[in-house]
Amino acid sequence: MGADGYRYDCDVCGSFIFTRSAAASQYLDFTLPFRAVLSRRIRLQTDSLGSQDDIPVVTTYDIENLIEEAPSLPSPAQQASGIIRFVGDYVIKAAEPLRQFPPEFHPLVGAVDRRSAEKIASELIERGVLIGIDASDLQHQYQSIELDLTLAGWEIYEAEKRGVTKAKTGFIALKFGDATLDGLLDQHVKPKLQEIGHPLIDLRDVSRAGIIDNIMRAHIQDAAFIIADLTHDNPGAYWEAGYAEGLGKPVIYICEKSKFDDRQTHFDTNHCTTVMWTKNEPDEFVEKLAATIRRSLDYQ
C-alpha cells in the first residue's frame, strides 16, 4: 500500500492504484461486466502513459462516474474489428506473426474475458480473416500459433484505417467550456445528425473520469467521420483532426464565422472546406453541415 492507496500490478489491467476511499466505496460492483469495463479503462489509460512511474489512479469519483454512465463493452462485431486491428498492428510493428495473445489482449479488444475474445478470433479464422492456427485448436488454448491476417483480413484492416467501414457515428473535436458552442452542439448539431442517422459523440459522452488518450483514438478509429471545430485554435482539436486525416477519415472543419473572417485558421487548414457557424443562424449552419457530411460519405 502506497501513501495514497493500494497499488496493484496486474498482467491483464497493468499497474494501477486504488485510492483508499475507492477501495472502500459502497459503489464498487464486483460483477464480471463491471470488472471487465473497469479493466478495459485501466488498460487503455495504462497504455497511454509513457512512464512506468506514472500509473493510473482509480478514485471514488471514477467509480461513481462509471456507475452513473453505465457504459457497456464494445459489441461482438466491434470486438472482431478490434481483434483485426490488434493483430494487424502487431504484425506491422513486429514484422512477424503474433505468436501468443498477451494478457492485455481481451481488455484492449473489449471482450469480457479471454475466452470470449478467443471465441471471436476463432470465428475470424473460420471466415478466412485470420490465419495461422486451426480455429478449434485456438479455443482449446493451443499455444503454438503464428497468427496473421489473410489478404481478406488485410483488406478489412486497411479499409478500417481509411474509414471505409459501416460505421455511422461521428466524432467531434473541440474546445470544451464555450457556452455558445456547447449550446449549438447540444441543441442543434447533435439532434440534426441523429435525425439523419449519424449520432455525434465527443469525449464528454464516453469518459468523465479523465481516461482520455487511447479512448479518444479508439473512437476516432471507429468513427465514420470527424468534425473539428477550429474557432479557438485548440491544439487538441488540430491534433485529433490530423490523427483522423492520417487514418484517411473524412474530416469536416467548422469555425465561428467572425473568427475565420478576421484571423482564419492555421495555414494547413485554411484552404480546406470549412463550414461557418454563427450563434444567430444555427439552422442554416446545421443544414450545410449535414450536406457536407453526406458529400464526404459519398451519398448518392
Q: Which amino acid is at 82?
A: G
**Bridge pairing between strands 5-10 and 57-58:** unpaired
Query: And the C-alpha cell for 238?
Result: 488540430
Determine the 3-state secondary structure of 175 from DSSP.
Answer: coil
Report the SS3 class of residue 142: coil
Query: Is the Cβ–Cβ distance between 275 and 281 less than 8 Å?
Result: no
Residue pair 148/98 in contact (Cβ under 8 Å)? The answer is yes
With a CB cutoff of 8 Å and minimum separation 6, the contacts of 93 are none
Q: How far is the C-alpha of 145 from the C-alpha of 121, rounded, in Å?
A: 12
pLDDT tens digit string along 231-259? 988 888 889 999 888 888 889 999 999 88
Has residue 162 got a pLDDT over 80? no
CB 62 within 8 A of CB 22: yes
pLDDT for position 268:
66
CA 137 to chain centre: 31
Measured between alpha carbons, how far is 9 from 162 in angstroms, rounded to an integer? 36
pLDDT score recorded for residue 213: 66
Residues of the chain above pLDDT 70, percent:
81
- Measure Cα distances from 134 to 91, 128, 129 in Å: 19, 11, 12
Q: Partners of 57 in the beta sheet?
A: 17
pTM as predicted: 0.60
DSSP result, 70-127:
---PPPHHHHHHHHHHHHHHHHHHHSS-B-S--TTHHHHHT-SSHHHHHHHHHHHHHT
Beta partners for residue 148, in sequence order: 131
CA 52/CA 234 separation, integer angstroms: 29
The string of pLDDT tens digits covering residues 133-159 is: 776 666 555 556 789 999 999 998 887
Q: What distance in Å separates the CA atoms of residue 109 and residue 111, rounded to the nearest whole number?
A: 6
- The per-residue pLDDT for 53 is 56
The Cα–Cα gap between 99 and 102 comes to 9
State the average pLDDT over residues 114-127: 91
275: left (phi over 0), alpha (psi -120 to 50) or beta: beta
Angle at 57 between CA 68 and CA 78, to 5 degrees: 55
Q: Is the pLDDT of residue 188 over 90?
A: yes
- pLDDT band of 287, cuts 50, 70, 90: very high
Please tell me the distance from the alpha carbon of residue 233 to that of residue 124, in angstroms, as a whole number: 43
State how far the alpha carbon of 189 is from the alpha carbons of 67, 195, 196, in Å.
28, 10, 11
Q: Is 244 exposed, middle or buried (0-12, 13-18, 19+ CB in 10 A)?
A: buried
